Structure 1
Amino acid sequence: MSEGAVQTLDAVFVGHRGALVRLLARIVGSASTAEDLAQEAYLRVSAALRERPVEQLEPFLFQTARNLAFDHLRQEQRRRLVVVPDIDNDGMEAVPAARPSPETEVADRQLLARLEEALGRLTERQRRIVLLNRMEGLSHAAIADRLGVSVSTVQKELKIALLACLEIFARLNGQRLRNPGRPDVY
């Protein structure tokens, strides 16, 4: 940025600082926040001048300040949605927990019963592999290490177990599972 651009920006900022701060205070509702935003606008315009020349410096400064004010308001609104001031633990306990509808509860129970049935039809090793992988998040290598088998055995057993679960779910839903590699699966 040239020395002339710095002097021009300084002159525009000093000459219009009062109007700029009043405008920002009307937008954000706080004189101290308006002062901070005016300073931030000056810094942003100064950085922009290093990148390229700006012909209409005064409108650019005011528009930058307005954009910062609106960004500030959006941030405050998000913060208010997340943080609820002056509520203690007793107040939070009084807020009812979100509960699923009775229909959702019944559907979830049916799904759990299907899952239990599917797991019940697996061998003990297959059931352990599925639970270690899906519930505990263990990798194939970690499961192989824990069970004392090869990684390829874990992969094969997991594939068989998951396919068996899918078959049971498909049958219970009145659907057919198509798999050309296994004639017993439709």
Structure 2
Amino acid sequence: MLEELFLSQRHTLVMTIARMVGCPHTAEDLAHEAYVRVSSAVSTRPILNLQTFLFQTARNLAIDHLRRERTRRRFMTNEVDSEAWMEVASTQPSPETQTMDGQRLAMFDAALSKLPQRARHILLLNKIHGMGYPEIAAQLGVSESTVYNDIRMALAHCLTAMMDKDAL
């Protein structure tokens, strides 16, 4: 019964929806969606006026479609002036930041070079390679307290060196 109604009213249904949404292809899709939804509803409960129910379902789908499109257009505009692009934050650091970071890295490298070799090696194993104190101690054949003390001393030395340079 629904299939016969849909086939006999399909053209009118599509034209009604097309007037609402302004696109015949979208209207075809919405008419098909209305058929599927009405078919599902018919299988769960009796519908007194099937034609009215079909057209109302199609109208509701068209209104929902128009709301989604209006929201999409509001947030997805293709028109952006060049000044707006200039206000978008860059993921790249500024040239000034790159220069300052390079200077800080050079200062840190200089501070590392002044550390005793074991302390520098332990600090790099811990901070760069992510090794824990027990693992470093086992690898180097020293106690965990030695690893702790070397890291503490190396960090304090680097911090002092960086603070002295920043104060200039």
TM-score, length-scaled by structure 1: 0.44
Structure of larger gyration radius: 2
TM-score by length of 2: 0.49
Name which structure has the greater RCO, CA cutoff 8 Å, separation 6+.
2
